[in-house]
Amino acid sequence: MDPLPASVLPAGVRARIVPGINGLDIHLLEAGHETPGRPAVLLLHGFPEIAYSWRKILPALAAAGYHAIAPDQRGYGRTTGWDADYDGDLTGFRFMNLLRDAIGVLFASGHRTAEAVVGHDFGASVAAYAALVRGDIFKRMVLMSAPFGGPPSVPFGPLPAKAPDIHAALSALPRPRKHYQWYYSTRPANENMWRAKQGVHDFLRAYYHHKSADWKANQPFELKGWTAEELAKMPTYYIMDLADGMAETVAKEMPSAAEIAGNKWLTEAELKVYSDEYQRNGFQGGLNWYRVRTTGRTNGELEVFTGRTVDVPSTFISGKSDWGIYQTPGAIARMQKAACTKMKEIHLIDGAGHWVQQEQPDEVNRLLLQFLKTS
């Protein structure tokens, strides 16, 4: 597999393949690599994204004196060595192994420590465990769009009563619904998106539009609890109609030709970089991250960190139009009050939905550099 061609990358950003990292050959983008001895910043993308999601952040970090590194994470893009078979071994996708991948990228890039680990969406989970478990390596933490409420806890005292079945409750609503993460864990999910009737390119266009500030119905608010009635207040990209796959869900919100032509934060040429990667790979690699979470199979090793807090300086950046902040009720409050002991500020950016570092990169860069300089 060749690295991304320079023709699709901003000036000063290079792509390369780093072989032999925890069983993978990892494709990464970097900027500021020309000058030895610069402090590192590691950038971890989410779903359905790739390292290219950081294309507007890498040059700004390099200009400020950092070596900025963004890998295609396990299951994504031009990184190879992972298993795309639904029936394959899921253990490679557990969070501690994804963290091992991240440490491998950092060390292979010539750094023993990173000034910060920055994670967006599902990448925020890896960044959070990086800071929780190896605060000696990752000196600061920046989470985007996905709050970290702390590691799963070991029950104390009498075991709690079994929680009601949220999926049965969602499907029993007057408008029957289902949770997207559990849908993503099903066998048909990959085929539904990869072989979408509208094609991968238009599927991704609608998906990114639906979760952005361009979709004006994204007006998020805090939910009262983890109940079917409350969860059903979220848009269908999170709480789907029971009969629809994700391809059908987002097709209903496909932007018009005029909206696409007017989109400055994700041009058709930029979107083609994503769609070419997903056309080749499918989505199963990224979906396996959801399967690890929803099956709970690896919770035991995360429960080892029960009660442990993130004690490095931290900040949270998200779009004001991003439902991701509230999709797990109470998580943002737990993050600030309990999970992170040095998270002073939460920044919600106007004019951004879920893809904050792409929708409003100038403000993200300003906040990121301000945090790196002052924390």
pLDDT in tens, 301-336: 999 999 999 999 999 999 999 999 999 999 999 999
For residue 184, CA distances in Å to 12, 178, 188, 239, 266 come to 36, 11, 8, 12, 24
Report the pLDDT averaged over residues 235-256.
Answer: 98
Residue 329 corresponds to which amino acid? P
What domains can be seen in the chain, in order of their start residue?
6-152+298-374 (3.40.50.1820), 166-286 (no CATH)
DSSP 123: H
> CA 148 to CA 168: how far, in whole Å?
26
Report the pLDDT averaged over residues 97-120.
Answer: 98
Structure tokens at 74: 């396990």
Task: Give the pLDDT confidence of 345-368 residue by residue, as tens digits.
Answer: 999 999 999 999 999 999 999 999
Task: Give the pLDDT confidence of 131-146 residue by residue, as tens digits.
Answer: 999 999 999 999 999 9
Task: Give the pLDDT confidence of 250-305 residue by residue, as tens digits.
Answer: 999 999 999 999 999 999 999 999 999 999 999 999 999 999 999 998 899 999 99
pTM of model > 0.95: yes
> CA 349 to CA 323: how far, in whole Å?
13
- Higher per-residue confidence, 162 vs 126: 126
Report the pLDDT averaged over residues 10-19.
Answer: 98
Locate tokens 């902040």: which residue?
Answer: 325
Report the pLDDT averaged over residues 45-64.
Answer: 98
- Express as a percent the part of the chain with pLDDT over 70: 100
Q: What is the predicted pLDDT for the residue at 297?
A: 86
Question: Which of 79, 8, 89 lies closest to 44, judged by CA?
Answer: 79
Beta bridge pairs of residue 2: none
Question: Which of 159, 151, 177 lies closest to 331, judged by CA?
Answer: 151
Q: What is the predicted pLDDT for the residue at 162?
A: 86
> CA 94 to CA 91: how far, in whole Å?
5
Banded pLDDT at 229 (limits 50, 70, 90): very high
Q: What is the predicted pLDDT for the residue at 77?
A: 98
Whether residue 44 contacts residue 127, with contact meaning beta carbons closer than 8 Å, is answered with yes
Banded pLDDT at 159 (limits 50, 70, 90): confident
Banded pLDDT at 60 (limits 50, 70, 90): very high
Whether residue 161 has pLDDT greater than 90: no
Whether residue 53 has pLDDT greater than 90: yes
Structure tokens at 51: 């390292």
